[in-house]
Amino acid sequence: MVGKRKQQLNHDGQDGFEHPSRTRQQLPQWLQKQELTEADMPYTHEMMAESYRIWLEEAEHFPWLGGQIVLLHPDGTNVSAGAEPEEGALELPSWSIENIGPTAASTALETCRPTMTRAEDHRLPALKSYDSIAVPIFTRTTGFPCGIAACLLPAGTANAGDLKLLQAAALHLRSCIYRDFENLFVEGLLRERKLSNKEEQRRSILFDVMRRLNDHIDVENVLSEVLFSLEELYPVCKADLFLSQDYSSPNEKVKPLAFHLHDMELCKAAFLDGQLREEMIGDHQRLALPLSGKQGVYGVLRLDMPEGKFDEADIDFLKMLAGTAGAAFEKAKLHEQANVLVGELRLINELTQRLNRSLHLTETMQFATAELLQIFKSDFCCVLQYDASTQNFKVMSANVPEMIGEAYSKDYGFCGVTWSTKEPIILSDYCSATPVTSKLMEVTSSRSLLAAPLLLNGEVIGAVMITKREPNHFSYDNYKLLQVLSAHLGLAISNATLHAEMRRMVITDKLTGLYARHYLNERIGRNQLRDSSGSLIVVDIDHFKKINDTFGHQVGDDILIQVSGIIRTSIRDSDIAARWGGEELAIYLPLLSLEQTRRVAERIRQRVESETGPQVTVSCGISEWHVADDKISVETLFYKADMALYEAKHHGRNCIVIG
């Protein structure tokens, strides 16, 4: 029926009923055919009262009877009782026969004819002073009485002429009643059309918002679009968006979802059960709508209406908008995470390749420090290596100079935590939560921390610590990224350590612990390219074959170890001692004069003679080179020292000869 009427409405046009000055003949045919029915009567009281008020305004110059005309409902109710009564007039709220007995109104209703009742025929004492006249008001097509026009006149004054005037008034009242009836009918249709148009507009807006939301793959753009759309649709409404994600937005209306705050109970409930929640605060309404996607609830949209309430259509619309926004946010977040993962994989690949380019431990750690500072946009970074022999962590690389080379117990600070748990650490604010003491945090005045152990085969071989002076700097994504990077960094450091150990084994004599001959040649050659001078001592243990023959090779090896130890403790850190071959040892002393070199050789000779057991002596040959020499080479230097040693052997041994 409603659909048919809407079609009729569109067919005849709005113009057919939006002008109240039109006559009935000018109204559309379908509207002219509308009629009051007996089923409508229980609901017409207010309409008839309004019709009576309009009639009073229009009948201002009506040739009034000797009393006030009233309009009665068929049930006897005086619908004109709200109007201001004439002075001295009797006002009766109800004219029903049960309340006041028979009157002209009850008779007119029963007989459907104009009626006059004399004062003496009234039962109610108050009516004994009045004659009553009444005229039924009939519907325009069905002909049943829809109202009664009645009037009380002084006793004995009512006549047929008064009835004629009352009939004219009844006809005018009927036109007012039908005009109101038609207006109500049209208002209902207009209201229905308005609601339909509003719903159509909402759907159009929702479609447009959905299209714009789905066009965005950036999280910030999605959030801005949601808030902009709400502001455009409900300008008086205050909108706030609370996100549970680890996400920071420049938009002041996007805030973290903090359950501990006292005014977040409504949002908390909406987030936990994924359903719309509403409450009244004073005279305004508050809604909390969850932003849900397929993978869960991402936040809550809170709307505060300062005046009035959202209607059901608004709430349905807002539900759909929140659902669309949740799906768009999820899509943008997944796209962002995919980009982050791709970027992280690319970063991990590049970092791993660059770490594996260098097998030098110091270079690897310094490069890792610089890269981690840049990747995590942090202020300070510290890479430590764990020494199982001393059970200490040693700072190998850091951009905090005063910490480089320092060692810390495996139980100290955050290194101790990573060593015991073998898990990464994320700390939002060291000042508000200080689980352990940390020199790095205190020296640098840092507040945010990321730390991770460097593992190899499940064992801790080091740790990496990254800090920032500002609190809450690192995210959970940073935490996961460092966890991955630390595994690659641990492997790179392990490779560099193994390479350093292999190189040490290659360039070191296993028995004496001194450098091997080829390493000594290499170092002397490099020094001759950059220094201006240097000297060489070749040491030979006297009668070493006799010691082997007398005491055995094991004692001979022990003598070699003792002499090597004496040499190592008798020279500078910059000097290089090596096993030249057999029982011969060599020491290169950069930038040392012959006299200084001789004193070093003498110190070694004396200590060997006094500190070895069984006692042995050594012979020494010394040579030097200067940048001004005609021929500078490692071979020449060794040749001179070897000749000097040969001469020392032929001068009784246990002596020093300069070549």
Query: Positive or negative, the Cα torsion across 143, 147, 153, 155?
Result: positive
**Cα separations in angstroms, 39 against 44, 564, 601:** 10, 124, 132
How far apart CA 583 and CA 545 sit, in angstroms, is 9
* Each residue's pLDDT tens digit, 583-608: 899 999 999 999 999 999 999 999 99
pLDDT at 307: 77
Q: How confident is the prediction for the chain on average, in pLDDT? A: 84
Region class of 587: left (phi > 0), else alpha (psi between -120 and 50), else beta? beta
pLDDT tops 50 at residue 302: yes
pLDDT tops 90 at residue 264: no
pLDDT tops 80 at residue 490: no
Contact by Cβ (8 Å): 249, 258:
no
* SS3 annotation, 173-201: HHHHHHHHHHHHHHHHHHHHHHHHHHHHH
Average of per-residue pLDDT across 534-562: 93
**CB atoms closer than 10 angstroms to residue 287:** 25
How far apart CA 211 and CA 382 sit, in angstroms, is 49
Surface-to-core class of residue 244, CB atoms within 10 Å of its CB (0-12 exposed, 13-18 middle, 19+ buried):
middle
pLDDT tops 90 at residue 65: no
How far apart CA 299 and CA 315 sit, in angstroms, is 18
Residue 614 pLDDT class (50, 70, 90 cuts): very high
Residue 73 pLDDT class (50, 70, 90 cuts): very high
pLDDT tops 70 at residue 63: no
Listed range (24-28, 68-72, 137-141, 546-550) with the worst mean pLDDT: 24-28
* Each residue's pLDDT tens digit, 27-37: 667 666 778 88
Average of per-residue pLDDT across 305-331: 83
pLDDT at 1: 31
pLDDT tops 90 at residue 572: yes
**Cα separations in angstroms, 483 against 346, 435, 645:** 16, 21, 60
pLDDT at 601: 95
Contact by Cβ (8 Å): 404, 397:
yes
Q: Is the pTM of this model over 0.75?
A: no
Average of per-residue pLDDT across 20-49: 75
* DSSP calls for 193-228: HHHHHHHHHHHHHHHHHHHHHHH--SHHHHHHHHHH
How far apart CA 213 and CA 399 sit, in angstroms, is 45
pLDDT tops 90 at residue 541: yes
Structural domains in the chain, sorted by start = 34-190 (3.30.450.40), 216-336 (3.30.450.40), 358-500 (3.30.450.40), 517-658 (3.30.70.270)
- Token couple for 91: 């006002």
Listed range (127-141, 255-269, 369-383, 487-501) with the worst mean pLDDT: 487-501
pLDDT at 86: 64
pLDDT tops 80 at residue 206: no
Average of per-residue pLDDT across 460-483: 89
pLDDT tops 80 at residue 212: no
* Each residue's pLDDT tens digit, 96-106: 888 899 999 99
pLDDT at 375: 84
* Each residue's pLDDT tens digit, 272-299: 888 999 888 878 888 999 988 888 888 8
Spatial CB neighbours of 561, under 8 Å, sequence gap ≥ 6: 511, 512, 513
Listed range (58-62, 483-487, 583-587) with the worst mean pLDDT: 58-62
pLDDT tops 80 at residue 112: yes
How far apart CA 597 and CA 388 sit, in angstroms, is 39
Residue 9 pLDDT class (50, 70, 90 cuts): very low
pLDDT at 368: 81
pLDDT tops 90 at residue 570: yes
pLDDT at 8: 42
Contact by Cβ (8 Å): 504, 594:
no
pLDDT tops 70 at residue 15: no
pLDDT tops 90 at residue 379: yes
DSSP, collapsed to helix, strand or coil, labels residue 423 as coil
Helix spans in 358-467 (H): 361-375, 413-421, 439-444
Average of per-residue pLDDT across 59-76: 81
pLDDT at 535: 95
pLDDT at 561: 94
Spatial CB neighbours of 45, under 8 Å, sequence gap ≥ 6: 73, 77, 79
How far apart CA 259 and CA 273 sit, in angstroms, is 14
- Token couple for 640: 């001179």
pLDDT at 652: 86
* Each residue's pLDDT tens digit, 148-200: 999 999 999 999 989 999 999 999 999 999 888 888 877 877 888 887 887 78
Average of per-residue pLDDT across 419-441: 89
